[in-house]
Amino acid sequence: MSSQHPSIKENWFTELSDEHFPGQGFSLKVERILHHSRSDFQDVLVFESSKYGNVLVLDGIIQCAERDEFAYQEMIAHVPLFAHGNPKNVLVIGGGDGGVIREVVKHDCVEKVTLVEIDKTVIDLSRKFLPGMSCALDHPKVKINLCDGFQFLRDVAHAAIDEKYDVIITDSSDPEGPAEAFFQTEYFELLKAALNPSGIVIAQASENVWLNIDYLRRLMRIAHSVFQKADYCYTTVPTYTSGQLGLIICSDDCRLSITKPQRHPSKREQDALKYYNPEIHHASFILPTWAARLINDRNANE
């Protein structure tokens, strides 16, 4: 394990990417490095920050921080789960930190959750350094598969895995390295093949309207080419560059209104949530005028 990292200088971690957010960056003050190594798949860094708790970084990109992670985990989990209304079988691809799993098992109607994570190192380090996120990884409803998410879906499509899902949550990292395949047409087609007829897919879109809206428009075009319904929503997370992250939610059930919850949280469920509520569910799909025009214009030139 290394006690240094190229993204940390003078006790400041800085996230830079000329490809995804050129001309800007994001920094956090570092108290100490807790772990740095190279797994079989990616560079893995965990550090203690001065204001945001422990932070997990993969290939130089922040994945989660203890202070604000719930804003992402709750929205990517509860938007599709409450939009569905009665999900029983849920698939989570990526998300080895356990945050999405923690949110999914809050739904009593969910009977089974399958987590597909390619990098065991992420799971192991999350158990050690992110206990508030990884706390449900050993829940009796949860089954963990250490394998490639793309291949897992291929096995479902080819009936090597005889199972369909009510909700599929793609909690991948940014489209670099092992996660690059999660942002292509074939992946959306495989997601569709793994869904029950009234099922819902949600995927983090990597970008938001302030960073690379042309990329989002292309991604939405792919989603619309595969699914009958596709919408874009977002959540606000300070430790993600520009403070906002996009989510794409899709379904082949034309009767389903994915922008509004079919079932509202009970008082017990709502008391356990910090970010999600039925009002913010709907509001997260409402975009500024210029952004809505570009994202929803399927005929615009590339």
Phi, psi (5° rounding) for residue 76?
-70, -25
Q: Which overall architecture, per CATH, does domain 8-65 show?
A: Roll (2.30)
| CA–CA dist 154, 187 (Å, integer) | 9
- Per-residue pLDDT tens digits of the chain, which is 302 residues long: 556 888 999 999 999 877 777 788 899 999 999 999 999 999 999 999 999 999 999 999 999 999 999 999 999 999 999 999 899 999 999 999 999 999 999 999 999 999 999 999 999 999 999 999 999 999 999 999 999 998 999 999 888 788 999 999 998 754 444 445 555 788 899 999 999 999 999 999 878 999 889 889 999 999 999 999 999 999 999 999 889 999 999 999 989 999 999 999 999 999 999 999 999 999 999 999 999 999 987 554 44
Beta-carbon-side half-sphere exposure of residue 173 (alpha carbons within 13 Å): 23
Q: Which overall architecture, per CATH, does domain 69-295 show?
A: 3-Layer(aba) Sandwich (3.40)
pLDDT value for 249: 97
Most distant pair of Cα atoms in the chain: their distance: 55
Active site annotation includes 171: yes
Instruction: List the end-to-end C-alpha distance of the chain, in Å, as a whole number.
Output: 44
pLDDT value for 3: 64
Ranges of each domain in the chain: 8-65, 69-295
Contact 39, 47 (CB under 8 A): no
| CA–CA dist 202, 195 (Å, integer) | 12
Candidates 43, 97, 166, 171; catalytic one: 171
